[in-house]
Amino acid sequence: MILFLALLAAIGCAIFNGIAAILEKIGAGLEKKASSLHPGLLWKLRTNRSYLIGIVLDLIAWVLTLFAVHNLPLFLVQPIIACSVVVTVTIEHFLLKHQLKLKFIAYTVIILLGLIMLAVVSTQQKSSAINSTAKWLIVFTPIVLVAIGSLLIKIKNRYSTFILAALSGIAFGGVSIAGRAIVFSHPYIHILSNPLLWAIVGYGLVAILFFTIALQRASATTVNATMIAFETIVPIIIGLTLLGDHPKNNLWSVVVIGIFLTFSGSLLIAINSKEG
Protein backbone atom coordinates (compact mmCIF):
# COMPACT_ATOMS: atom_id res chain seq x y z
CA MET A 1 0.00 0.00 0.00
CA ILE A 2 2.83 2.39 0.90
CA LEU A 3 4.55 1.58 -2.39
CA PHE A 4 1.38 2.45 -4.31
CA LEU A 5 0.90 5.72 -2.42
CA ALA A 6 4.54 6.66 -2.99
CA LEU A 7 4.10 6.04 -6.72
CA LEU A 8 0.98 8.23 -6.73
CA ALA A 9 2.92 10.93 -4.88
CA ALA A 10 5.68 10.89 -7.50
CA ILE A 11 3.12 11.05 -10.33
CA GLY A 12 1.31 13.91 -8.61
CA CYS A 13 4.62 15.73 -8.27
CA ALA A 14 5.23 15.40 -12.02
CA ILE A 15 1.78 16.80 -12.84
CA PHE A 16 2.04 19.73 -10.43
CA ASN A 17 5.58 20.60 -11.55
CA GLY A 18 4.58 20.51 -15.20
CA ILE A 19 1.67 22.89 -14.64
CA ALA A 20 3.74 25.12 -12.35
CA ALA A 21 6.40 25.63 -15.03
CA ILE A 22 3.80 27.15 -17.39
CA LEU A 23 2.30 29.42 -14.73
CA GLU A 24 5.72 30.59 -13.54
CA LYS A 25 6.79 31.26 -17.13
CA ILE A 26 3.74 33.49 -17.63
CA GLY A 27 4.42 35.35 -14.39
CA ALA A 28 8.19 35.70 -14.85
CA GLY A 29 7.71 37.02 -18.37
CA LEU A 30 5.92 40.09 -17.00
CA GLU A 31 8.97 41.23 -15.03
CA LYS A 32 12.16 42.83 -16.33
CA LYS A 33 14.82 40.22 -17.07
CA ALA A 34 17.10 39.73 -14.09
CA SER A 35 20.75 40.81 -14.36
CA SER A 36 21.81 39.41 -10.98
CA LEU A 37 20.88 36.69 -8.51
CA HIS A 38 19.23 39.17 -6.17
CA PRO A 39 16.15 37.49 -4.63
CA GLY A 40 14.27 40.76 -5.20
CA LEU A 41 12.94 39.19 -8.40
CA LEU A 42 10.97 36.68 -6.35
CA TRP A 43 9.72 39.49 -4.10
CA LYS A 44 8.47 41.45 -7.12
CA LEU A 45 6.55 38.40 -8.29
CA ARG A 46 4.76 37.96 -4.95
CA THR A 47 1.67 39.77 -6.27
CA ASN A 48 1.56 37.91 -9.59
CA ARG A 49 -1.30 35.44 -9.40
CA SER A 50 -0.02 33.04 -12.07
CA TYR A 51 3.43 32.89 -10.52
CA LEU A 52 2.09 32.44 -6.98
CA ILE A 53 -0.18 29.58 -8.03
CA GLY A 54 2.83 27.99 -9.70
CA ILE A 55 4.86 28.30 -6.49
CA VAL A 56 2.03 26.77 -4.45
CA LEU A 57 1.92 23.82 -6.86
CA ASP A 58 5.69 23.46 -6.52
CA LEU A 59 5.40 23.41 -2.73
CA ILE A 60 2.74 20.69 -2.89
CA ALA A 61 4.98 18.77 -5.28
CA TRP A 62 7.86 19.22 -2.82
CA VAL A 63 5.85 17.57 -0.02
CA LEU A 64 4.86 14.73 -2.34
CA THR A 65 8.52 14.31 -3.33
CA LEU A 66 9.63 13.94 0.29
CA PHE A 67 7.06 11.19 0.82
CA ALA A 68 8.03 9.41 -2.40
CA VAL A 69 11.80 9.46 -1.83
CA HIS A 70 11.42 8.07 1.68
CA ASN A 71 9.71 4.97 0.33
CA LEU A 72 11.09 4.44 -3.16
CA PRO A 73 14.57 4.45 -4.71
CA LEU A 74 15.64 7.73 -6.28
CA PHE A 75 16.26 5.99 -9.60
CA LEU A 76 12.49 5.43 -9.84
CA VAL A 77 11.15 8.63 -8.25
CA GLN A 78 13.27 11.07 -10.25
CA PRO A 79 12.39 9.69 -13.71
CA ILE A 80 8.69 9.79 -12.78
CA ILE A 81 9.10 13.45 -11.81
CA ALA A 82 10.86 13.91 -15.15
CA CYS A 83 7.49 13.30 -16.80
CA SER A 84 6.58 16.86 -15.81
CA VAL A 85 8.24 17.91 -19.05
CA VAL A 86 5.58 15.91 -20.91
CA VAL A 87 2.90 17.84 -19.03
CA THR A 88 4.59 21.15 -19.92
CA VAL A 89 4.90 20.29 -23.61
CA THR A 90 1.24 19.24 -23.73
CA ILE A 91 -0.02 22.41 -22.06
CA GLU A 92 2.11 24.65 -24.27
CA HIS A 93 0.69 22.87 -27.32
CA PHE A 94 -3.00 22.88 -26.46
CA LEU A 95 -3.35 26.08 -24.40
CA LEU A 96 -0.51 28.30 -25.63
CA LYS A 97 -0.81 26.98 -29.21
CA HIS A 98 2.85 25.99 -29.55
CA GLN A 99 3.40 23.62 -32.45
CA LEU A 100 3.93 20.03 -31.32
CA LYS A 101 6.25 18.27 -33.75
CA LEU A 102 6.42 14.53 -34.30
CA LYS A 103 9.94 14.40 -32.89
CA PHE A 104 8.70 15.68 -29.53
CA ILE A 105 6.21 12.82 -29.40
CA ALA A 106 9.12 10.47 -30.12
CA TYR A 107 11.17 12.03 -27.30
CA THR A 108 8.22 11.59 -24.95
CA VAL A 109 7.97 7.91 -25.87
CA ILE A 110 11.70 7.54 -25.11
CA ILE A 111 11.14 9.00 -21.64
CA LEU A 112 8.20 6.70 -20.98
CA LEU A 113 10.17 3.62 -22.09
CA GLY A 114 12.92 4.56 -19.66
CA LEU A 115 10.38 4.95 -16.87
CA ILE A 116 8.83 1.56 -17.54
CA MET A 117 12.23 -0.12 -17.36
CA LEU A 118 13.03 1.58 -14.04
CA ALA A 119 9.61 0.74 -12.61
CA VAL A 120 10.08 -2.95 -13.41
CA VAL A 121 13.26 -3.22 -11.32
CA SER A 122 12.26 -0.92 -8.44
CA THR A 123 11.48 -2.05 -4.90
CA GLN A 124 10.34 -0.24 -1.79
CA GLN A 125 13.41 0.66 0.26
CA LYS A 126 14.77 3.03 2.88
CA SER A 127 17.99 4.99 2.50
CA SER A 128 21.23 4.00 4.17
CA ALA A 129 22.82 6.23 6.78
CA ILE A 130 25.33 8.69 5.31
CA ASN A 131 28.66 9.66 6.81
CA SER A 132 29.49 13.13 8.10
CA THR A 133 31.48 14.13 5.02
CA ALA A 134 28.62 13.31 2.66
CA LYS A 135 26.16 15.09 4.94
CA TRP A 136 28.09 18.37 4.98
CA LEU A 137 28.76 18.14 1.25
CA ILE A 138 24.99 18.05 0.74
CA VAL A 139 24.51 20.95 3.16
CA PHE A 140 27.06 23.31 1.57
CA THR A 141 26.40 22.57 -2.11
CA PRO A 142 23.73 25.35 -2.41
CA ILE A 143 26.48 27.91 -1.69
CA VAL A 144 28.57 26.50 -4.54
CA LEU A 145 25.57 26.68 -6.89
CA VAL A 146 25.00 30.33 -5.97
CA ALA A 147 28.65 31.15 -6.68
CA ILE A 148 28.47 29.56 -10.14
CA GLY A 149 25.12 31.18 -10.89
CA SER A 150 26.45 34.63 -9.92
CA LEU A 151 29.01 34.37 -12.71
CA LEU A 152 26.60 33.00 -15.31
CA ILE A 153 23.83 35.54 -14.74
CA LYS A 154 25.90 38.26 -16.42
CA ILE A 155 26.22 36.21 -19.60
CA LYS A 156 23.10 36.41 -21.74
CA ASN A 157 23.14 33.72 -24.38
CA ARG A 158 21.57 30.34 -25.03
CA TYR A 159 24.34 28.41 -23.31
CA SER A 160 24.25 30.42 -20.07
CA THR A 161 20.47 29.98 -19.97
CA PHE A 162 20.91 26.24 -20.47
CA ILE A 163 23.42 26.09 -17.60
CA LEU A 164 21.17 28.17 -15.31
CA ALA A 165 18.32 25.76 -16.00
CA ALA A 166 20.70 22.86 -15.35
CA LEU A 167 21.79 24.41 -12.04
CA SER A 168 18.14 24.80 -11.04
CA GLY A 169 17.71 21.09 -11.79
CA ILE A 170 20.70 20.19 -9.63
CA ALA A 171 19.24 22.34 -6.82
CA PHE A 172 15.78 20.74 -7.15
CA GLY A 173 17.52 17.38 -7.15
CA GLY A 174 19.28 18.46 -3.96
CA VAL A 175 15.85 18.72 -2.32
CA SER A 176 15.28 15.02 -3.07
CA ILE A 177 18.77 14.03 -1.94
CA ALA A 178 18.58 15.93 1.35
CA GLY A 179 15.00 14.74 1.86
CA ARG A 180 16.09 11.15 1.38
CA ALA A 181 19.09 11.51 3.69
CA ILE A 182 17.29 13.26 6.54
CA VAL A 183 16.19 11.11 9.47
CA PHE A 184 12.92 11.83 11.30
CA SER A 185 12.99 10.75 14.94
CA HIS A 186 11.08 11.48 18.14
CA PRO A 187 10.67 14.12 19.34
CA TYR A 188 10.14 15.64 15.87
CA ILE A 189 10.94 19.15 17.11
CA HIS A 190 14.62 18.13 16.96
CA ILE A 191 14.35 18.20 13.18
CA LEU A 192 14.65 22.00 13.36
CA SER A 193 18.28 21.65 14.43
CA ASN A 194 19.13 19.27 11.58
CA PRO A 195 21.28 21.06 8.96
CA LEU A 196 19.78 18.84 6.26
CA LEU A 197 16.39 20.47 6.85
CA TRP A 198 17.86 23.91 6.22
CA ALA A 199 19.73 22.51 3.25
CA ILE A 200 16.36 21.53 1.80
CA VAL A 201 15.16 25.13 2.26
CA GLY A 202 18.37 26.44 0.70
CA TYR A 203 18.15 24.13 -2.29
CA GLY A 204 14.52 25.09 -2.81
CA LEU A 205 15.18 28.85 -2.80
CA VAL A 206 18.19 28.56 -5.10
CA ALA A 207 16.29 26.26 -7.46
CA ILE A 208 13.26 28.56 -7.72
CA LEU A 209 15.43 31.66 -8.29
CA PHE A 210 17.53 30.01 -11.03
CA PHE A 211 14.45 28.47 -12.60
CA THR A 212 12.61 31.82 -12.68
CA ILE A 213 15.56 33.65 -14.26
CA ALA A 214 15.92 30.92 -16.89
CA LEU A 215 12.18 31.14 -17.64
CA GLN A 216 12.64 34.84 -18.45
CA ARG A 217 15.11 33.88 -21.15
CA ALA A 218 13.64 30.77 -22.78
CA SER A 219 10.43 28.81 -23.29
CA ALA A 220 8.88 26.86 -20.44
CA THR A 221 9.45 23.59 -22.30
CA THR A 222 13.14 24.33 -22.91
CA VAL A 223 13.82 25.36 -19.33
CA ASN A 224 11.70 22.65 -17.72
CA ALA A 225 13.18 19.89 -19.86
CA THR A 226 16.73 21.01 -19.10
CA MET A 227 15.97 21.38 -15.41
CA ILE A 228 14.27 17.98 -15.27
CA ALA A 229 17.14 16.21 -17.04
CA PHE A 230 19.59 17.31 -14.35
CA GLU A 231 17.08 16.99 -11.51
CA THR A 232 16.72 13.38 -12.61
CA ILE A 233 20.28 12.24 -13.14
CA VAL A 234 22.06 13.83 -10.15
CA PRO A 235 19.86 12.34 -7.38
CA ILE A 236 19.92 8.97 -9.12
CA ILE A 237 23.72 8.91 -9.06
CA ILE A 238 23.79 10.01 -5.41
CA GLY A 239 21.10 7.49 -4.49
CA LEU A 240 23.00 4.62 -6.08
CA THR A 241 26.42 5.61 -4.71
CA LEU A 242 25.66 7.02 -1.25
CA LEU A 243 22.10 6.24 -0.15
CA GLY A 244 21.91 2.50 -0.69
CA ASP A 245 19.53 2.37 -3.68
CA HIS A 246 19.65 -0.88 -5.60
CA PRO A 247 17.50 -2.57 -8.27
CA LYS A 248 15.47 -5.74 -7.91
CA ASN A 249 17.59 -8.85 -8.55
CA ASN A 250 20.61 -6.56 -9.11
CA LEU A 251 19.47 -5.78 -12.66
CA TRP A 252 21.87 -2.85 -13.01
CA SER A 253 21.91 -3.02 -16.80
CA VAL A 254 18.18 -2.27 -16.85
CA VAL A 255 18.72 0.68 -14.52
CA VAL A 256 21.49 2.10 -16.71
CA ILE A 257 19.42 1.81 -19.89
CA GLY A 258 16.33 3.26 -18.16
CA ILE A 259 18.30 6.23 -16.82
CA PHE A 260 19.89 6.81 -20.23
CA LEU A 261 16.54 6.81 -22.03
CA THR A 262 14.84 9.11 -19.51
CA PHE A 263 17.73 11.57 -19.39
CA SER A 264 18.22 11.54 -23.17
CA GLY A 265 14.53 12.12 -23.88
CA SER A 266 14.38 15.10 -21.50
CA LEU A 267 17.60 16.56 -22.88
CA LEU A 268 16.46 16.16 -26.51
CA ILE A 269 13.28 18.09 -25.73
CA ALA A 270 15.37 20.86 -24.15
CA ILE A 271 17.82 21.11 -27.05
CA ASN A 272 15.17 21.09 -29.77
CA SER A 273 12.67 23.47 -28.15
CA LYS A 274 12.39 27.06 -29.33
CA GLU A 275 13.72 29.92 -27.25
CA GLY A 276 11.51 32.61 -25.74
Output the DSSP codes for the chain. Answer: -HHHHHHHHHHHHHHHHHHHHHHHHHHHTTSPPPSS--THHHHHGGG-HHHHHHHHHHHHHHHHHHHHHTTS-HHHHHHHHHTHHHHHHHHHHHTS-----HHHHHHHHHHHHHHHHHHHT----PPPPPPHHHHHHHHHHHHHHHHHHHHHTT--SHHHHHHHHHHHHHHHHHHHHHHHH----SSGGGGGG-HHHHHHHHHHHHHHHHHHHHHTTS-HHHHHHHHHHHHHHHHHHHHHHTS----GGG-HHHHHHHHHHHHHHHHHHHHHSPP-
Q: Under a CB-based contact definition with an 8 Å cutoff, are residues 23 and 53 in contact?
A: yes
Q: Are 180 and 127 in contact (CB under 8 A)?
A: yes
Q: Which long-range contacts (CB under 8 A, 24 or more apart) does 94-100 make?
A: 95/22, 96/22, 98/219, 98/221, 98/274
Supply the pLDDT for residue 220.
77
The domain in which residue 152 lies consists of 2-272
Q: In the prediction, which pLDDT does 184 show?
A: 65
pTM for this entry = 0.75
Per run of 10 residues, the mean pLDDT along the chain (length 276 residues) is 85 90 83 70 82 91 84 78 79 68 77 77 64 84 90 76 89 86 68 80 90 84 79 79 78 86 77 60
Query: What is the full DSSP assignment across 151-188?
Result: HHTT--SHHHHHHHHHHHHHHHHHHHHHHHH----SSG
The predicted structure's pLDDT at residue 88: 80
Alpha-carbon distance of 158 to 217, in angstroms, equals 8
Report the distance separating Cα 58 and Cα 196, nearest Å.
20
Q: For residues 246 and 220, what is the distance between their CA atoms, to the nearest angstrom?
A: 33
Domain count, the chain: 1
